[in-house]
């Protein structure tokens, strides 16, 4: 059957006739009551809209004899037709409310029932109801943020809103954020469409460098539809950690007269921050000038070496204070105790003073004489 070409022909003729009718309508005001129907969008092709013959008050026989047909003022696109043997108005094409009317609150297909002998025109308004056939959608799957760990509780970060091609309650109604310790979502009251991410617990980069949270937008349709995006938060470092020495007190022993350059001990501190915030340098802290000339401290490695002559006979133990500081200047301290060990570098010396101590000749053996 060549229904398509017949239909095309009808439509074409309909268009030119239509102007004629509009003219007639205005001139002679031959108006009949409007007929209104309401259908859900996306109904199957061939679905019943209503019985137009009954609603207009025409017998089935009259439909054929008066050449009843459906016309439209749109460019050739016809969404419904009349079945002449039943008087039913049926859909002839997919009716997509979003395609026809977008975000308009009401969507009406305007058709006309045309009868001849005498000419008679009935306007048909088919109200297309939205169904929840579209899910909320975010414009991007990944929403990235860089948030400093120093950000205060209560800080807010604006999020992109989700869109839903449907209207009314079938469009986005609320947002959900995956349960987590740091953030909640504030979808805002009336007037504000953009949801906001709200910091409820301070971030700590040393605990968690990044967070990935699922954000869900939900519509109010039935069945409910949803769309998701991932919120990726990169936590930026703040200098919230001071260097920490591996030991508060380091102990080492050093033989006196150790050759210059001998490594005594290495102190070591670590800093949980990154970059300059975690960059450590070591320096002597309040070390006497005498000792500064005896020891060297490597600023980067923490190596302590001897560089002078140490004499056990002068000092048996030396205490040094060392400071580790990071880039911005947070510092901590440690103590290095160096035990100087004796080396046999001195010959025995006997100091004799002359003395006179007379003893009698009969002195018994064992008597101390000096
Ligand atoms: C009109 O309706 C009848 C009865 O439902 C059906 O048999 C016939 O195929 C329909 N005609 C058209 C053109 O759809």
Question: Does the beta carbon of 85 lie inside 6 Å of ligand 1?
Answer: yes
Inform me whether the pLDDT recorded for 191 exceeds 70: no
Question: What local confidence, expressed as pLDDT, does residue 75 receive?
Answer: 66
Nearest CA to ligand 1 atom 12: 83
Ranges of beta strands (E only) in 149-225 are 156-158, 172-177, 183-186, 196-199, 210-219
Task: Report CA(84)–ligand 1 centroid distance (Å).
Answer: 8
pLDDT in tens, 40-96: 999 999 999 999 999 999 999 999 999 999 988 766 678 999 999 999 999 999 999
Q: Ligand 1 pocket test: which of 49, 51, 81, 83 has the largest number of ligand atoms within 8 Å of its C-beta?
A: 83
Question: Does the beta carbon of 86 lie inside 6 Å of ligand 1?
Answer: yes
This prediction has a pTM of 0.68
Burial profile 215-234: b = 16 or more Cβ within 10 angstroms, e = fewer: bbbbbbbeeebbbbbebebe
Nearest CA to ligand 1 atom 11: 83
Task: Please check whether residue 268 is in contact with residue 257, taking contact to mean a CB–CB distance below 8 angstroms.
Answer: no
Closest CA to 109 of 41, 190, 26: 41
pLDDT in tens, 235-281: 999 999 999 999 999 999 999 888 999 999 999 999 999 999 999 99
Q: Torsion-angle region of residue 61: left (phi > 0), alpha (psi -120 to 50) or beta? A: alpha
Inform me whether the pLDDT recorded for 2 exceeds 90: no
Question: What local confidence, expressed as pLDDT, does residue 76 receive?
Answer: 63
Task: Report CA(85)–ligand 1 centroid distance (Å).
Answer: 7
Task: Report CA(114)–ligand 1 centroid distance (Å).
Answer: 19
DSSP 304-333: EEE-S---TTT-SEEEEEEEEE-TT--EEE
Task: Report CA(62)–ligand 1 centroid distance (Å).
Answer: 17
């Amino acid at each position: 059957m060549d229904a398509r070409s017949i239909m095309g022909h009808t439509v074409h003729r309909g268009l030119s006739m239509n102007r004629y009718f509009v003219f007639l309508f205005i001139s002679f005001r031959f108006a009949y009551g409007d007929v209104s129907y309401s259908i859900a969008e996306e109904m199957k092709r061939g679905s019943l809209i209503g019985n137009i013959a009954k609603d207009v008050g025409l017998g089935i026989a009259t439909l054929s004899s008066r050449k009843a047909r459906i016309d439209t003022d749109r460019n050739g696109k016809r969404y419904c037709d009349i079945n002449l043997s039943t008087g039913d108005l049926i859909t002839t094409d997919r009716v997509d409310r979003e395609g026809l009317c977008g975000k308009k609150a009401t969507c009406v297909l305007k058709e006309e029932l045309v009868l001849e002998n005498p000419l008679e025109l009935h306007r048909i308004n088919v109200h297309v109801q939205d169904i929840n056939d579209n899910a909320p959608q975010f414009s991007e799957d990944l929403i990235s943020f860089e948030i400093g760990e120093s950000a205060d509780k209560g800080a807010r970060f604006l999020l992109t809103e989700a869109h839903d091609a449907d209207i009314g309650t079938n469009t986005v109604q609320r947002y959900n954020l995956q349960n987590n310790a740091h953030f909640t979502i504030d979808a805002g009251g009336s007037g504000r469409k953009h949801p906001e991410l709200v910091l409820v617990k301070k971030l700590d980069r040393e605990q968690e460098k990044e967070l990935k949270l699922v954000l869900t937008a939900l519509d109010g349709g039935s069945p409910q539809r949803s769309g998701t995006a991932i919120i990726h938060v990169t936590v930026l470092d703040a200098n919230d950690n001071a260097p920490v020495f591996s030991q508060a007190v380091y102990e080492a022993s050093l033989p006196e007269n150790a050759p210059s350059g001998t490594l005594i001990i290495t102190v070591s501190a670590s800093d949980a921050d990154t970059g300059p915030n975690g960059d450590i340098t070591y320096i002597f802290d309040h070390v006497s000038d005498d000792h500064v000339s005896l020891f060297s401290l490597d600023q980067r490695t923490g190596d302590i070496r001897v560089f002078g002559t140490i004499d056990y006979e002068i000092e048996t133990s030396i205490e040094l204070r060392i400071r580790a500081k990071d880039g911005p200047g947070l510092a901590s301290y440690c103590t290095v105790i160096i035990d100087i060990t004796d080396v046999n570098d001195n010959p025995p010396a006997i100091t004799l003073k002359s003395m006179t101590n007379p003893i009698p000749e009969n002195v018994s053996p064992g008597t101390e004489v000096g």
